[in-house]
Every structure is written in structure tokens, then in C-alpha cells.
């Protein structure tokens, strides 16, 4: 009986099928991992949000704390404990054999039993530096929260002025509608329907403003517990720093300081604009703009829309519509200057912080969905952490060509918006998931034997 020779292309076909199945398996594993991660992030938001916020605060203020610690412990000029006590280091005089203080830091050598080896002084220096940083953080938080609360309370106390403004606005709209109905010969029923629609919109606008005010007051009051938890994280994280550094912390710290600087100037500019417009809530709107500027693009638009109903309903203004037009145009101009020019030159032009806008918007929507407004604010720092982790993985495996490096390069290329590079790295990462040589040879041998027997 004649035996059919095995097809020469059979091993290649088996290898192609195996790699295809491996790609499908890797994709399914990634999908399962993403679903599990989403469930954990959503259900542990009350635990993770204070922890992530405290980690960002620690990352931002840690260099300041280390600088104060080096100053208090005598590691920097004037090289004295707490800047006023004895020198940190002493050396013996080479000629007279006596101990003499030397202000030159490089020429000093520690002596056994000197204050340089005193753990009590080291701990006191660390506690003093952390205490100063915590006091500054509390001062800033108190000023911001107090200003927000004072603005919301002032808005609630001045509610009669806004009610009269709403009545004036309704009367103006009704007069305009009456003139149009007479000119266009509309019926009285249409006129009454339009007037009812105006009243409905203004009632909803007043209810919305009142709800926003009450929400701000309740949120500021309820944030005390969360603030205590965050402060505890920050205190212990600064007293005993975790071994976290490198590209991740530098990238996040650079983004936070640059974004804070831009947001600070933007908030001051908004406050100055509303002061020029004789608005008594100028500081309140400036602080709101400062916070919302941390959310790229979307936050600035929300900050522009928040003052609109308050300006329109203000009965103390001679022309609310003209004031609203000036405020909106001014805020749009400042948004273009600070967000699209200054911030772009500081952040987006930096190659280390380059992230495609699609991923930024996706992160804002996703973290805003699972963690609320705080998630929208910290979404971009989380992206910076992920990018820093990918860069660190590539640098650690610079001399290797393994799976971790391939996946890290693929993720980094996709995050920066380099599609061709991302596709190449992804195929390389998927291709690295291959069977061992012995197992593949055994499968091919079994396939050839079965084909020969057939």
C-alpha cells in the first residue's frame, strides 16, 4: 500500500495556527485583567482615592521636605544643626592635635561619638521639616476651602438680589416675545406658551444655582474626614519615605508643579477679570477656575459655564447680558493663552510628558466615572505614572530583548500616538509568546507521523 508523503507546508501551517491561538489567548487574558482591574478600582474607590491623592501630595512636596531636612541636619550651608547649633562635623587639627571647627564642608570628617551620629538629632530634623511642610499644606487647604465656603455662603445670603434679577429677566423676555408675536401675528396661545417656557427655564436655573451652592457647602463640610486620612498618609509617607523614585516620581512631580503654576496664574487672571466687572464673587470664581483647570480642556469649559447663570440672574447689574458677554470672551481668551499656549509649551512640548489627547480624554471620562470629580483631576497624573513605569521598564531591560521590554515599548508607543511603532512592538510582544523549542519539535514530529500513517 502506497503511503502519502507528508506535506512540506504542514509544519508552517501548524506554527501559524499556534501563533494565532496564542494571540487570541493573550488578548483574552488582557480582557480579563482589565475587567478585574475595573471592578477593583470601582469598589475600592473610598480607599484608593485618599491614597492616590496623598501619594501625589507626597511626590510634590518630598523635594521641599528633603531640602529642609538637609538644612536642619547640617548637610547644607551653614552646616549647623537647625542652622544655629554646633557644626555637624568636626575634624582634628593636624598641627596642634585639637578639635577645631571648619566651615568647609568638603574638608570635614566625622568623629565617632560626635553629634553627626546622633539619631535623636536626625529624627528631630526630620520631624521639623515634615511639620513645616504639613503646616504649609494645611494653610493652603484652609485658605482655599474657606474662600470657597465664604463665596457659597455669600451667594446664599444674596439670594434676594438674584430672585429680583430673575424677575427682571422674565419681564424682559416676555416683552420681547410680545413684540415678536405682534409683528409675526402669532396667537395669544403661543405667547402664553412661550412665557410659561421662560418661567420654567428660570425656575430650573434658580434651582440649579441653589443646588450647586448647597452641594459646595456640604462637600466642604464632609471633606474633613477625608482630609484627616490624607494627612495621616502624607505624614507617615514623609517621615519614612517609601523607596519610590526614578522616572515615575520625576515625571509626576514635573507635571504637578507645571500644571499648578499654570492653574494658579489662570485663577488669578479670572479673579482679576471679575473684579474689573464689579462682581463680588471674583475670588470664588478664581478658585473654581483654579481647581477645574487641572482637568484638561473639559475643566476649563466647565469653569467658564459656571458663572453664566449667576451673572444673568444678578439684579444688581445694570446690563447682565453685556456683563456675561465680557466675562465669557475674557475667560475664553485667557483659556487660549494659558491652556493652549503656555501650558502646551511647558507640558506638551516635553517629550517625557507627551501623551496623545485621545488617551487624556479617555482617562478623564473613565476616572471621572469611577471616582467622580477627584478622578477627573488626578486622571492625567495617573497616566504620567503609567508612562513613567513603562519608561523605567524599558531602561531596566535595555540590554535584554524579553517580553517585558517589548510590551513596555508597545504601550509607550501607543500612549504617545505612534501607531506604526506601536503595531511593530505589539507584534514583537505577541511573537515572544511562543512554545519552547522541544515542545514545538515534538508537535511537528507527531504531526508528521500521523500524516505518514495516513
Tens-place pLDDT, residues 406-436: 777 777 777 877 765 545 554 555 454 444 4
Closest CA to 82 of 65, 70, 90, 64: 70
Given a contact cutoff of 8 angstroms between Cβ atoms, the answer to whether 252 and 381 are in contact is yes
CA angle 402, 444, 449 (to 5 degrees): 170
Q: How is the chain split among helix, strand and coil, in percent rounded to 5?
A: 80, 0, 20
- Quick check: 94 pLDDT over 50? no
What confidence tier does 348 reach under pLDDT thresholds 50, 70, 90? low
Give the pLDDT confidence of 314-328 residue by residue, as tens digits.
777 778 888 889 999
Cα-Cα-Cα-Cα torsion 188, 192, 194, 196, nearest 10 degrees, comes to 180
What confidence tier does 185 reach under pLDDT thresholds 50, 70, 90? low
What is the share, in percent, of the chain residues with pLDDT greater than 90? 13
Asked whether residue 307 is domain-assigned, the answer is yes
Q: What is the mean pLDDT of residues 82-101?
A: 52
The pair phi, psi for residue 231, each rounded to 5°, is -65, -40
Q: Helix, strand, or coil here: 140?
A: helix
Give the pLDDT confidence of 254-281 residue by residue, as tens digits.
888 888 999 999 999 999 999 998 888 8
Closest CA to 392 of 258, 253, 260, 245: 245
Give the pLDDT confidence of 367-413 residue by residue, as tens digits.
989 988 888 888 888 888 888 777 777 776 555 556 667 777 777 77
pTM for the structure as a whole: 0.73
Burial 216-233 (b: 16+ CB within 10 A, else e): bbeeeeeeeeebebbbeb
- Quick check: 2 pLDDT over 50? no
What is the share, in percent, of the chain residues with pLDDT greater than 70? 70
Q: What is the mean pLDDT of residues 345-355?
A: 71
Asked whether residue 306 is domain-assigned, the answer is yes
Give the total number of structural domains in the chain.
Answer: 1
Give the pLDDT confidence of 222-258 residue by residue, as tens digits.
677 788 888 999 999 888 887 766 667 777 888 888 8
Separation of alpha carbons 443 and 59, rounded Å: 52
Q: What is the mean pLDDT of residues 98-108?
A: 43
Helix (H) or strand (E) holding 311: helix 307-312
> How distant, in Å, are the alpha carbons of 108, 138, 293, 355, 385 from that of 260?
40, 17, 9, 18, 17
CA angle 68, 72, 74 (to 5 degrees): 120
Which of the two residues, 335 and 89, has the higher pLDDT score?
335
Q: What is the mean pLDDT of residues 189-209?
A: 69
Separation of alpha carbons 293 and 302, rounded Å: 9
Q: Which residues span the domain enclosing 254?
A: 245-351
> How distant, in Å, are the alpha carbons of 4, 210, 256, 287, 315 from that of 278?
95, 22, 33, 17, 13
Q: What is the mean pLDDT of residues 297-313?
A: 85
Residue entry with cell 470601582: 42
Q: What is the mean pLDDT of residues 325-349?
A: 86
Separation of alpha carbons 43 and 225, rounded Å: 19
Task: Measure CA 84 to chain center.
Answer: 40
Asked whether residue 124 is domain-assigned, the answer is no
- Give the start-end residues of each E strand in 171-213: none
- Quick check: 169 pLDDT over 60? yes
Asked whether residue 294 is domain-assigned, the answer is yes
Asked whether residue 337 is domain-assigned, the answer is yes
Separation of alpha carbons 143 and 109, rounded Å: 46
- Quick check: 437 pLDDT over 50? no
Asked whether residue 175 is domain-assigned, the answer is no
Which of the two residues, 143 and 94, has the higher pLDDT score?
143
Given a contact cutoff of 8 angstroms between Cβ atoms, the answer to whether 371 and 377 are in contact is no
Residue entry with cell 500500500: 1
What confidence tier does 360 reach under pLDDT thresholds 50, 70, 90? confident
Asked whether residue 87 is domain-assigned, the answer is no
Q: Helix, strand, or coil here: 100?
A: strand
Separation of alpha carbons 358 and 417, rounded Å: 9
How many Cα atoms sit within 13 Å of 296 on the Cβ side? 24
The pair phi, psi for residue 109, each rounded to 5°, is -125, 140
- Quick check: 21 pLDDT over 50? yes
Asked whether residue 140 is domain-assigned, the answer is no
Closest CA to 304 of 280, 259, 334: 334
Amino acid at each position: 500500500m502506497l503511503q502519502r508523503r507528508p506535506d512540506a507546508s504542514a509544519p508552517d501551517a501548524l506554527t501559524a495556527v499556534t501563533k494565532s491561538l496564542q494571540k487570541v489567548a493573550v488578548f483574552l487574558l488582557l480582557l480579563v485583567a482589565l475587567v478585574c482591574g475595573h471592578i477593583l478600582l470601582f469598589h475600592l474607590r473610598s480607599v484608593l482615592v485618599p491614597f492616590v491623592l496623598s501619594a501625589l501630595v507626597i511626590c510634590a512636596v518630598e523635594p521641599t521636605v528633603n531640602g529642609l531636612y538637609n538644612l536642619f541636619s547640617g548637610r547644607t550651608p551653614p552646616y549647623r544643626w537647625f542652622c544655629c547649633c554646633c557644626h555637624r562635623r568636626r575634624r582634628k587639627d593636624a598641627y596642634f592635635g585639637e578639635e577645631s571647627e571648619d566651615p568647609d564642608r568638603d574638608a570635614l570628617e566625622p568623629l565617632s561619638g560626635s553629634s553627626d551620629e546622633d539619631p535623636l538629632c536626625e529624627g528631630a530634623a526630620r520631624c521639623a521639616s515634615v511639620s513645616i511642610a504639613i503646616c504649609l499644606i494645611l494653610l493652603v487647604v484652609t485658605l482655599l476651602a474657606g474662600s470657597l465656603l465664604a463665596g457659597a455662603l455669600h451667594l446664599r445670603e444674596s439670594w434676594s438680589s438674584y430672585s429680583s434679577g430673575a424677575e427682571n429677566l422674565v419681564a424682559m423676555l416676555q416683552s420681547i416675545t410680545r413684540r415678536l408675536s405682534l409683528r409675526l401675528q402669532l396667537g395669544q396661545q403661543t405667547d402664553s406658551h412661550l412665557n410659561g417656557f421662560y418661567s420654567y427655564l428660570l425656575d430650573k436655573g434658580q434651582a440649579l444655582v441653589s443646588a450647586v451652592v448647597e452641594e459646595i457647602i456640604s462637600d466642604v463640610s464632609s471633606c474633613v474626614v477625608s482630609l484627616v486620612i490624607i494627612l495621616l498618609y502624607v505624614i507617615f509617607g514623609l517621615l519614612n519615605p517609601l523607596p519610590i523614585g526614578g522616572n515615575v516620581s520625576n515625571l509626576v512631580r514635573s507635571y504637578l508643579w507645571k500644571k499648578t503654576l499654570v492653574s494658579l496664574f489662570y485663577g488669578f487672571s479670572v479673579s482679576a477679570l471679575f473684579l474689573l466687572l464689579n462682581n463680588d464673587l471674583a475670588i470664588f470664581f478664581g478658585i473654581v477656575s483654579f481647581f477645574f483647570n487641572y482637568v484638561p480642556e473639559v475643566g476649563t469649559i466647565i469653569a467658564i459655564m459656571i458663572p453664566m447663570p449667576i451673572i444673568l440672574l444678578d439684579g444688581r447689574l445694570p446690563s447682565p447680558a453685556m456683563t456675561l458677554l465680557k466675562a465669557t470672551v475674557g475667560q475664553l481668551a485667557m483659556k487660549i493663552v494659558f491652556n493652549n499656549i503656555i501650558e502646551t509649551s511647558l507640558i506638551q512640548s516635553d517629550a517625557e510628558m507627551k501623551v496623545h489627547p485621545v488617551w487624556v480624554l479617555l482617562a478623564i471620562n473613565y476616572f471621572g466615572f469611577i471616582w467622580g470629580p477627584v478622578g477627573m483631576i488626578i486622571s492625567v497624573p495617573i497616566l504620567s505614572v503609567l508612562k513613567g513605569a513603562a519608561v523605567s521598564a524599558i531602561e531596566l531591560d535595555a540590554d535584554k530583548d524579553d517580553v517585558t521590554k517589548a510590551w513596555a515599548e508597545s504601550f509607550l508607543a501607543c500612549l504617545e500616538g505612534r501607531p506604526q511603532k506601536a503595531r511593530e512592538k505589539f507584534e514583537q510582544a505577541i511573537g515572544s509568546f511562543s512554545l519552547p523549542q522541544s515542545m514545538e519539535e515534538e508537535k511537528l514530529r507527531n504531526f508528521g507521523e500521523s500524516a505518514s500513517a495516513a
